[in-house]
Amino acid sequence: MKRPHWLTIAAAGTLLTAMVTALMVPPERVQGDLARVLFVHVPSAWLAYLSFGVTLLGSAMYLIKQDLKWDRLAGASAEVGVFFTGLTLALGMIWGKPTWGVWWTWDARLVLTAVMFFVYLGYLALRRGIDDPVDRAKRSAWLGILGVVQIPLVHFSVLWWRTLHQPPTLLRPDGMQMDAPFRGALFMALFAFTMVYAALVRAHIANAKDEVRLAELIASEEVEVAGAAITAPTLGEVD
Amino acid sequence: MTGFWRQAMAITRKDLRTEVRSGEVLFITVPFGAAALMLIPLAVGVDAPLLQKIGPGMYWSIVLLFGVLVTVRQSATDGPSQRDLLSLLGIDPAARFAGRAMASIALLFTFEAVLAPVALALYGTDPAGWWWLLAVVPLVAIGLGLLGTLASTIASSISSATLVPLIVVPLAVPMLLAATQITEGLRIDATILGWILLLVIMDLLLAVAGVISARPLQEATR
């Protein structure tokens, strides 16, 4: 069996530590234990931004350098980003039901996050639909660049529109409005989730490389195909 | 007229001639959109004040969703052999993008113009500040036409045409928001210049992205 990569072990360790820290923080004064959802919701939202930002970087670098490693980075990051955007939406709904009384509300932040989710689902569908790696890289790079307009829209939606969703808690001009233990646990969770992101992207890139290697092997006919040992009888042998 | 614009206009004429012959937008998509506008009141209930309120939003939603059908129709007619022929003729990929986008914009503008009186009649919406809409309707047609053409170019190596709507609709949400906010702003006499600016910026960015990406995307297809 293949040994796990050091990044995977480090990510698992920091995630475990972050979750234990999140459980040890005293309950929030108003929301009680429900506020602990934020230790997963906020890092997931951060990873959605980070992932799609890295997809933008990978896409732009591919167009400049024409090196497929940048395309693999963009694709892997988008896949992880779509997962964490979905997780952000799901956890937001779980938090919203007891807090706002509804699973879903037509709030600018929520709607635009869902829109961002669909933009990158389209990006992944495009990648899945093209077999040729160079063609796929070129086309998805342009979509990866176009799609990034959603990130500022989502982040600043709470400032541009009157929304039910709270304004930014960490990235605000007048400083963070959060007690020290809560802030510490949140930063720990942010670090742990970033490690998980790095481990997942690394694993996705390794898978993509393996797929390319397998395709090359099959193309060069160096691998034995199932049933290759059986040959059709010739007329001479039958006689 | 420069070579670029002569080529672009030739592509536009070709696409519009195909449309005149098939009548796909005018005789299929427009009635389909009008039928959709008619179905909504039946689904939400025939409540006149409610319909007056939701009318503009429904109109713009139908324009966005059915407008995608207008923009993807070119990917169905423009197959690999047509693309190869245009390349062999030495047509500049950017001129091809511009020509196709202009044809889509013209068809979308027609689609919006025909559907607007239908929406006004069905929903009884007060056409307050309609002269502003003379600017908004073309801006939305330009944005949607450019976005649809760009998405069709990006997805041109995929045989399925169903991917283009999935790319276009989420990216067109800012346009839908701007169009509905402008209509609402005109109704309540609020400022709308910010939203018009958003539409103008989106149109410019899409035009630049379309022209810049045209050549590398065509090379990817070869």
Q: How many domains does chain B have?
A: 1
pLDDT at position A217 is: 83
Q: Please state, in angstroms and as integers, the Cα–Cα distance from residue B44 to each residue in A73, A123, A213, B51, B218, following that order.
A: 46, 34, 55, 9, 46
Please check whether residue B121 is in contact with residue B55, taking contact to mean a CB–CB distance below 8 angstroms: no
Dig out the tokens for A229 from the structure: 């040992």
Please check whether residue B165 is in contact with residue B192, taking contact to mean a CB–CB distance below 8 angstroms: no
pLDDT at position A153 is: 75
Angle between helices A180-219 and A6-24 (to 10 degrees): 150
Alpha-carbon gap, residue A123 to B174, rounded angstroms: 18
The pTM of the full predicted model, rounded to 2 decimals, is 0.81
Q: Is A32 helix (H, G, I), strand (E, B) or coil?
A: strand
Alpha-carbon gap, residue A10 to A18, rounded angstroms: 12
pLDDT at A157 exceeding the cut of 80: no
Mean pLDDT lowest for which of A24-28, A85-89, A156-160, A187-191? A156-160
Residues of chain B with Cβ-Cβ distance to A134 below 8 Å are 220
Per-residue pLDDT of chain B in tens (222 residues, 90 and over written 9)? 678 899 999 999 999 998 888 888 888 899 999 999 999 888 888 788 888 888 888 999 999 999 988 888 766 667 777 878 888 888 899 999 999 999 999 999 999 999 998 998 888 877 777 778 888 999 999 999 999 999 988 988 776 667 888 999 999 988 998 898 888 888 888 888 888 999 999 999 999 999 999 888 877 655
Amino acid at B177: L
Any B CB within 8 A of A159 CB: no
**Alpha carbon A144 to chain centroid distance?**
14
Q: DSSP state, B45? A: -
Residues of chain A with Cβ-Cβ distance to B166 below 8 Å are 118, 121-122, 125
- By Cβ distance, the residue of B163, B170, B216 closest to A129 is B163
Mean pLDDT on A19-37: 84
Give the A:B interface size as CB pairs under 8 Å: 61
E-strand stretches of chain B: none
The model's pLDDT over A163-181, given as tens digits with 9 standing for 90+, comes to 666 666 666 666 666 777 7
Amino acid at A191: F
The model's pLDDT over A53-74, given as tens digits with 9 standing for 90+, comes to 999 999 999 999 999 999 999 9
Query: What separation, in Å, do the N-terminal and C-terminal C-alpha atoms of chain A show?
Result: 50
Alpha-carbon gap, residue A203 to A2, rounded angstroms: 13
Please check whether residue B135 is in contact with residue B179, taking contact to mean a CB–CB distance below 8 angstroms: no
Residue-range definition of the domain harbouring residue B147: 3-220
Any B CB within 8 A of A174 CB: no
Nearest CA in chain B to A133: B220
Residues 132-151 of B with CB under 8 A from A: 150
The ipTM (two decimal places) reads 0.79
pLDDT at position A1 is: 64
B166–A122: do the CB atoms touch at under 8 Å? yes
pLDDT at position A169 is: 63
Alpha-carbon gap, residue B172 to A153, rounded angstroms: 13
Q: DSSP state, B142? A: H
pLDDT at position B104 is: 94
**Alpha carbon A29 to chain centroid distance?**
32
Any A CB within 8 A of B16 CB: no
pLDDT at A229 exceeding the cut of 60: yes
pLDDT at position B135 is: 86
pLDDT at position A161 is: 66
pLDDT at position A211 is: 84
Residues 100-129 of A with CB under 8 A from B: 112, 115-116, 118-119, 121-122, 125-126, 129
- By Cβ distance, the residue of A121, A134, A153 closest to B220 is A134
Any B CB within 8 A of A18 CB: no
**Phi and psi, residue B154, nearest 5°:** -60, -40
Alpha-carbon gap, residue B54 to A119, rounded angstroms: 26
Alpha-carbon gap, residue A122 to A55, rounded angstroms: 14
Any B CB within 8 A of A156 CB: no
How many other C-beta atoms can be found within 10 angstroms of the C-beta atom of residue B95?
A: 22
- By Cβ distance, the residue of B170, B213, B216 closest to A119 is B170
A115–B173: do the CB atoms touch at under 8 Å? yes
B216–A138: do the CB atoms touch at under 8 Å? yes
Confidence of residue A228 (pLDDT cuts 50, 70, 90): low
